[in-house]
Amino acid sequence: MPGDRGGVSAGARPRGRETPVPHEESRMRLVTTLAVALLAGTALLPTAQAAPPPPPADRPTLQRPAPGSAQSAERDTPRDTPAPGDAGGRLTAHGPARGLFLTVAADDATWIKGVTLDCAARPASGTHPHAAAACAALATAGGRLDQLRGAPRNCVKRYQPVTVGVTGSYLGRATTWHRTYANSCVLGEETGDVFRF
């Protein structure tokens, strides 16, 4: 046929993906950026503290001690108390966070989950639903995330990659780690309870 270009009409699009598959490095940057944004957002949330009830109208309120008095000096003495917002492993303006921030994200970045985990606390704490089991798995691996092992599973060979990340500190040691697994079953088989959330 005249003007035929090998079966492709002038207005037709080529078959296949219209957008290139993102490289591993750009996926890692995206997951890290999302994790930091999620962590920063939780640090900005106010902590739930109950305000003291107002004194009854029939009771007198306490007066502040006069400046220079012994009571004033005791009140004004600095105390070794943690800065507000340090509890729970959140990042604060006063220093590094305590504990780990773990993320799991779909390869195409359509979803991301994140939890906190503090293995130095007794008992283990954070927003991780299986904090004790996750800390036990980390302890067995000596804190080396590459050494994590879960129970063997019969995973299908379907490629639906998930990327996991860890930032923060594990028992006082700064930690940053990322890895992509073929699917969530393989992730569970290789990491056990650490990313089970």
| 143 is a domain residue | yes
| 53 is a domain residue | no
Strand partners of residue 115? 102
- The per-residue pLDDT string of the chain (197 residues; one tens digit each, 9 = 90 and over) reads 454 444 444 444 444 444 444 555 666 666 566 656 555 555 444 444 445 555 555 544 445 455 555 544 444 433 333 333 333 333 344 444 579 999 999 988 788 999 999 998 889 999 999 999 999 999 999 999 999 988 888 999 999 999 999 999 998 889 999 999 999 999 999 999 999 98
| 124 is a domain residue | yes
Task: Count CB neighbours of 114 within 10 A.
Answer: 20
Rounded CA separation 126/16 (Å): 44
| 1 is a domain residue | no
**Alpha-carbon distance values, 161 to 3, 120, 164, 180 (Å):** 44, 31, 10, 6
Residue type, 73: A
Of 45, 34, 36, the residue nearest 167 (C-alpha): 36
Q: Which domain holds residue 185?
A: 95-197
What is the chain's length?
197
Domain count, the chain: 1
| 54 is a domain residue | no
| 159 is a domain residue | yes
| 132 is a domain residue | yes
| 166 is a domain residue | yes
pTM score above 0.75: no
CATH number at residue 99: 3.30.350.10
Report whether the peptide linkage leading into residue 46 is cis, meaning its omega lies within 30 degrees of zero.
Answer: no
Rounded CA separation 136/123 (Å): 11
